[in-house]
Every structure is written in structure tokens, then in C-alpha cells.
Amino acid sequence: MQLADTLGVDKESRLERVQSRVDRESRLERVQSRVDRESRLERVQSRVDRESCLERVQSRVDRESRLERVQSRVDRELEQREWQHERDERAAKCEVELTI
């Protein structure tokens, strides 16, 4: 009887240790799953941050491109006005010479 009791206690003790190990492994799996999720979230956040930065850079590039086009247009208009002014001066000079 005593041997049977001892075997029963040993069996229960082993079952408790196994259950304890199973519980620990289950908690570890949940923690690992959480760590994996957080790691994925960090990678996604990093990608979002990079894309946001790229969008800001692209926006700046677009603005600078528009500014360059406007500056080019202004330069052409100034050149055309200077050319027109020189032409008008030559025409006025020719008129003066013709009237003399």
C-alpha cells in the first residue's frame, strides 16, 4: 500500500512538473509571439517613417522643379523684354536719323 501511495505521489509530482513545464512553454510561446508582433510592427513603422520622409523629399523636389520652371520663364521674359527694348531703341534711333 505504501509503495502504491509513493508511486501515486511520484506520478502526481511528475504530472505537476510536466504541467508546469507545459505552462512555462505556453507562456514563452505567447511572449515570443508578442515579441514577433512587436518586431513586425517596428519594421512596418520604420517603413512608414521612410516612406513619409521620401514623400517630403519628393514634395520638396517637386516644389524646386516648379520654381526652376518659373525662374526659366521669368528669365525668358526678361530676355525678351531686353531684346524688345534694344529693338525699340534702334528703331527710334533710325527714325531720328531718317528725319534728319
Q: Report which DSSP code applies to 15.
A: H
What does the pLDDT average to over 10-29? 93
- Give pLDDT tens digits for 23-60: 999 999 999 999 999 999 999 999 999 999 999 999 99
pTM across the whole model: 0.52
Q: What percent of the chain has pLDDT over 70?
A: 90
Q: In the chain, where do the E strands start and end? A: none
What's residue 94's pLDDT? 84
Instruction: List % helix, strand, coil for the chain (3-state, nearest 5).
Output: 100, 0, 0
How far is it, in rounded angstroms, from Cα 48 to Cα 41? 10
Residue positions counted in the chain: 100
pLDDT classification of 97: cutoffs 50, 70, 90? confident
